[in-house]
């Protein structure tokens, strides 16, 4: 069985939910405290054993490439001023992986960026992570998916429970057959079902490990909803050829940082994990809570 060496991170969208902040900067570069969203995604991949990071971009996303490159002038200034820890951090960003950048071509939809990077896949399994959301977990979400792939040799999608029934209409909800513990075989995925018609509360999204079998279905896929190419449509076709599994992520918190509210929650959560910020931030949150109750 071939190992997973590459991850595709689609990052070509306009980020319209965050306008005007994303008018001149990529949504993936919005910071969670002091680190851009996409860096959390890349670090998850690296911590899961991935070294080849393929980022699918567009003309307005040059700052993504700059972020994961060396900034020699900055590094020189940090070295001259004795800021050795910051210098180490900046160098680590550029050196933690092999970065490959591809411009997205074709119609809209979340299947298109995978097609745009297909020439970099040599009939091998690969992972996909979105550049504007992540699951913070231990072990990393992608490592959990790779472990399931290693056991079954088939495609795996990360899954999280949606506790509030009214929220299931925001996600692709899986109809599943339990395999064991947190592993399920997917029978179908219902996109944004009405709360009363959802087959479960298990949302399958965010992270994927695919066998090469997904590529013919993506290549031959006809545009679907809104005349766009949707990855889930290719997954539905793949399930007719081979099993596709869902791995419910353990010890994880999902952050849809493309949503304003979830983005704010992520900033608060990660700031509260920091020794240099948590005490004063918690005091502030308690003070404003008292003022508003």
217-243 pLDDT, tens digit per residue, is: 999 988 878 778 899 999 999 999 999
pLDDT at position 191: 83
143: Cβ contacts below 8 Å, ≥ 6 apart: 47, 48, 49
pLDDT at position 289: 86
Average pLDDT estimate for 83-91: 96
pLDDT at position 146: 97
| Structural domain includes residue 270 | no
pLDDT at position 197: 83
| Structural domain includes residue 291 | no
Query: Above 90 in pLDDT, residue 275?
Result: yes
Average pLDDT estimate for 76-83: 96
Give the number of other CB atoms < 10 A from CB of residue 249: 24
Query: Above 90 in pLDDT, residue 153?
Result: yes
| Structural domain includes residue 290 | no
Mean pLDDT, all residues of the chain: 92
Model confidence pLDDT, tens digit, residues 174-200: 999 999 999 999 999 988 888 778 888
| Structural domain includes residue 289 | no
pLDDT at position 261: 92
Instruction: Note whether 139 and 95 are within 8 A (CB).
Output: no
Q: How far apart are CA 245 and CA 193, in angstroms?
A: 20
Q: Provide the percentage of residues in the chain whose pLDDT is more than 90.
A: 72
Read off the pTM: 0.93
Query: Above 80 in pLDDT, residue 207?
Result: yes
Model confidence pLDDT, tens digit, residues 245-261: 999 999 989 888 888 99
Query: Above 80 in pLDDT, residue 293?
Result: no
CATH number of the domain that 93 lies in?
A: 3.90.550.10
- List C-alpha distances in Å: 280 to 269, 274, 292: 14, 11, 19
Q: 248 lies in which domain range?
A: 6-258
Q: How far apart are CA 242 and CA 244, in angstroms?
A: 7
pLDDT at position 69: 96
Query: Above 80 in pLDDT, residue 1?
Result: no
Q: How far apart are CA 113 and CA 219, in angstroms?
A: 12
Number of independent structural domains in the chain: 1
pLDDT at position 150: 95
Query: Above 80 in pLDDT, residue 21?
Result: yes
């Amino acid at each position: 069985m071939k190992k997973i060496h590459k991850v595709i991170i689609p990052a070509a969208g306009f980020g319209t939910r965050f306008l005007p902040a994303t008018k001149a900067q990529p949504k993936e570069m919005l910071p969670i405290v002091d680190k851009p969203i996409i860096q959390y995604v890349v670090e998850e991949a690296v911590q899961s054993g991935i070294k080849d990071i393929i980022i699918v971009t567009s003309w307005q996303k040059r700052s993504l490439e700059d972020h994961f490159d060396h900034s020699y002038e900055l590094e020189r200034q940090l070295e001259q001023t004795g800021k050795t820890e910051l210098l180490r951090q900046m160098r680590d960003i550029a050196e933690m992986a092999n970065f490959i950048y591809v411009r997205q071509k074709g119609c809209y939809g979340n299947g298109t960026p995978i097609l745009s990077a297909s020439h970099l896949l040599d009939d091998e399994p690969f992972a996909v992570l979105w550049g504007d959301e992540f699951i913070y977990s231990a072990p990393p979400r992608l490592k959990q998916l790779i472990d399931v792939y290693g056991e079954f040799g088939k495609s795996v999608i990360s899954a999280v429970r949606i506790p509030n029934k009214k929220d299931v209409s925001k996600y692709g909800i899986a109809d599943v057959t339990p395999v064991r513990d947190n592993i399920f075989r997917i029978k179908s995925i219902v996109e944004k079902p009405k709360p009363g018609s959802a087959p479960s509360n298990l949302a399958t999204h965010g992270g994927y490990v695919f066998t090469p079998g997904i590529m013919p279905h993506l290549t031959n896929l006809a545009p679907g909803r809104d005349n766009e190419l949707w990855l889930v449509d290719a997954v539905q076709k793949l399930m007719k050829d081979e099993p596709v599994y869902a791995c419910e992520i353990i010890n994880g918190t999902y952050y849809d940082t493309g949503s304003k509210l979830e983005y704010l929650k992520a900033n608060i959560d990660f700031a509260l994990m920091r020794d240099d910020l948590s005490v004063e931030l918690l005091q502030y949150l308690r003070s404003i809570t008292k003022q508003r109750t």
